[in-house]
């Protein structure tokens, strides 16, 4: 009898130990916390061993976001976290409401809009709980608007460094992250554009943070960009492929995007300018909008193809090309119907030699020069109306015997009024030998 009782006790103890072990195994481990600060948002990422089950709520006085992870635990010392976010003071562990819950508190400097979602494992990361915190825009005091120094504007180029922050992009054999090298190249391209008179660069990201793909196009549009260049590094499952390539939007994606934009009537004015306002209350609004959007997309795609060819030609002088003609793809960052857009794959980061080259400063400089050269070449030949480049590229004409304003206007396919305005002419009278500036059509 005594022996039987001892065996029962042993089995019970073993069962308890096994159950505790299973509970320990099932617990979701918090393995890391990362904070990515962007100009208008902050992303907090919790690295976990399993897919998270969570609840969250916000508190005020002081401002906090509380996240309760179910069946979770951690050995992390969160007070050692460092970051450069303006709205996150720190991330800490707080007393849980019940056993088995890991309560995490994000101390904030101001009220925020929080969006929480989980991400499945994607190399080099495992399961993650992502917390996106949107900064509240602070009211700005009225400022005196400086008068423009010139009636001519710069050609605006939006330079987009792919990936960033939580999204590393492709990873090379030696562990090089695409997001890092493309940002370095993008900064070099932007610097060269800014050093070119009559041109200005706007970067979609200037640091190691993620920008939503839709927002990249919005940033370009809000900056009134004449071109969007997205810079990436290619990758493949084998290390053999190598070389640079340039991509433009495929016709299939273009058609689907036009359909999507048509459904967003509030966007018509944004995309079509004054024309959007004119057609807003007409009976045939949808058909007119479709026609105008179609024309806008056709123009953007035609310009994109030409610029892609220019850039590809210059890249071929400094690096091996993977494709000698522009490629078409259904890429989200190229989808704007109103902005010519190209995506430059600077090389294959999955290739051992090109991974090393993409990290090399001299090679980055060569790539940046080639991209810049192709873009400048196009816009010097095709400057947008009203830009400083258009003014500089105006045609000079010396009046010959028998020439009148109407003859000269017909020759250059511009209006008489345009020539008179460009030369401050008060009448239609010309004299032989007179030098005229002819704006490009």
Phi, psi values for residue 147, rounded to 5°: -70, 140
Interval 26-46: pLDDT, tens: 689 999 999 999 988 999 999
Interval 384-409: pLDDT, tens: 888 988 877 777 888 988 899 999 98
For the chain, domains (ranges, CATH) are 26-134 (2.60.40.3500), 155-381 (3.40.630.40), 394-438 (3.10.350.10)
Quote the CA–CA distance of 396 and 87 in Å, as a whole number. Answer: 56
Residue 19 has pLDDT above 70, yes or no: no
Quick count: other Cβ atoms within 10 Å of Cβ 20? 10
Quote the pLDDT of residue 4.
Answer: 57
Report which of residues 439 and 73 the model is more confident about: 73
Quote the pLDDT of residue 410.
Answer: 87
Residue 163: name the closest of 113, 122, 127 by CA.
Answer: 122
Quote the pLDDT of residue 368.
Answer: 98
Quote the pLDDT of residue 13.
Answer: 53
Instruction: Kindly give, in sequence order, each residue whose CB lies less than 8 Å from that of residue 279, ignoring residues fewer than 6 positions away.
Output: 268, 272, 285, 288, 289, 292
The distance in angstroms from the start CA to the end CA of the chain is 108
> What integer best gives the mean pLDDT of the chain?
83
Please report the DSSP string for 52-113 in residue order. Answer: --EEEEEETTTTEEEEEEETEEE---GGG-----SSEEEEEEE--SSTTEEEEEEEESS--E
Quote the CA–CA distance of 178 and 232 in Å, as a whole number. Answer: 7
- Which stretch of 53-67, 319-333, 421-435 has the lowest confidence by average pLDDT? 319-333
Quote the CA–CA distance of 37 and 87 in Å, as a whole number. Answer: 9
Quote the CA–CA distance of 146 and 302 in Å, as a whole number. Answer: 36
Report which of residues 210 and 280 the model is more confident about: 210
Residue 283 has pLDDT above 50, yes or no: no
Quote the pLDDT of residue 250.
Answer: 72
Q: How confident is the model at residue 301 (pLDDT cuts 50, 70, 90)?
A: confident
Q: How confident is the model at residue 280 (pLDDT cuts 50, 70, 90)?
A: very low
For residue 388, give Cα distances in angstroms to 167, 199, 373: 38, 8, 18
Report whether the peptide linkage leading into residue 124 is cis, meaning its omega lies within 30 degrees of zero: yes
Quote the CA–CA distance of 104 and 82 in Å, as a whole number. Answer: 16
- Which stretch of 10-14, 106-110, 352-356, 391-395 has the lowest confidence by average pLDDT? 10-14
Residue 289 has pLDDT above 70, yes or no: no
Interval 308-347: pLDDT, tens: 999 999 999 999 999 899 988 777 676 676 789 899 999 9
Residue 15 has pLDDT above 70, yes or no: no
Q: How confident is the model at residue 91 (pLDDT cuts 50, 70, 90)?
A: very high
Cβ atoms of 230 and 333 closer than 8 Å: yes
Give me the helices (H) in 99-196, please: 178-194
Beta strand 64-70 pairing with 101-108: antiparallel
State whether residue 331 is helix, strand or coil: coil
Quote the pLDDT of residue 9.
Answer: 52
As given in the structure block, the two tokens for residue 178 are 């695409």
- Which stretch of 150-159, 185-194, 239-248, 280-289 has the lowest confidence by average pLDDT? 280-289
Residue 128: name the closest of 44, 67, 55 by CA.
Answer: 44
Q: What is the model's pTM?
A: 0.75
Instruction: Kindly give, in sequence order, each residue whose CB lies less than 8 Å from that of residue 204, ignoring residues fewer than 6 positions away.
Output: 158, 159, 160, 161, 211, 215, 216, 219, 220
The torsion region of residue 417 among left (phi > 0), alpha (psi -120 to 50) and beta comes to alpha
Quote the CA–CA distance of 302 and 27 in Å, as a whole number. Answer: 56
């Amino acid at each position: 009898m005594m022996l039987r009782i001892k065996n029962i006790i042993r089995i019970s103890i073993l069962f308890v130990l096994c159950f505790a072990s299973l509970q320990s195994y099932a617990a979701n481990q918090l393995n890391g916390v990362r904070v990515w600060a962007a100009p208008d948002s902050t992303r907090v990422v919790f690295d976990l061993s399993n897919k998270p089950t969570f609840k969250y709520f916000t508190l005020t006085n002081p401002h906090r976001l509380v996240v309760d992870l179910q069946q979770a635990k951690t050995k992390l010392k969160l007070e050692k976290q460092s970051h450069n976010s303006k709205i996150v003071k720190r991330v800490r562990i707080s007393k849980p409401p019940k056993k088995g819950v890991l309560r995490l508190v994000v101390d904030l400097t101001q009220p925020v809009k929080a969006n929480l979602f989980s991400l499945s494992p994607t190399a080099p990361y495992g399961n993650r709980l992502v917390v996106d915190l949107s900064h509240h825009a602070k009211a700005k005091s009225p400022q005196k608007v400086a008068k423009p120094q010139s009636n001519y504007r710069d050609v605006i180029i939006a330079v987009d460094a792919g990936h960033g922050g939580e999204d590393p992009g492709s990873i090379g054999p030696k562990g090089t992250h695409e997001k890092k090298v493309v940002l370095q190249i993008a900064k070099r391209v932007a610097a060269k554009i800014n050093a070119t008179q009559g041109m200005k660069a706007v970067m979609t990201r200037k640091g190691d943070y993620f920008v939503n793909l839709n927002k990249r196009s919005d940033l370009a549009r809000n900056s009134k960009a004449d071109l969007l260049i997205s810079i990436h590094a290619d990758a493949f499952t084998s290390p053999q492929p190598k070389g640079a390539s340039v991509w433009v939007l495929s016709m299939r994606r273009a058609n689907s995007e036009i359909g999507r934009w048509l459904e967003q009537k509030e966007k018509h004015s944004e995309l079509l300018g004054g024309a959007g306002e004119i057609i807003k209350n007409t009976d045939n609004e949808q058909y007119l909008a479709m026609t105008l959007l179609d024309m806008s997309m056709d123009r953007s795609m035609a310009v994109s193809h030409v610029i892609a060819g220019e850039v590809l030609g210059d890249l071929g002088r400094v690096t091996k090309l993977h494709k000698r003609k522009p490629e078409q793809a259904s890429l989200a960052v190229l989808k704007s119907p109103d902005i010519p857009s190209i995506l430059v794959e600077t090389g294959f980061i999955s290739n051992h030699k090109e991974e090393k080259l993409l990290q090399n400063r001299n090679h980055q400089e060569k790539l940046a020069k080639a991209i810049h050269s192709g873009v400048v070449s196009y816009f010097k030949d095709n400057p947008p109306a009203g830009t400083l480049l258009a003014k500089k590229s105006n045609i000079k004409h010396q009046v010959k015997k028998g020439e009148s304003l109407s003859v000269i206007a017909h020759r250059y396919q511009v209006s008489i009024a345009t020539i008179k305005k460009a030369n401050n002419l008060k009448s239609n009278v010309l004299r032989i030998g007179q030098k005229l500036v002819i704006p490009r059509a």
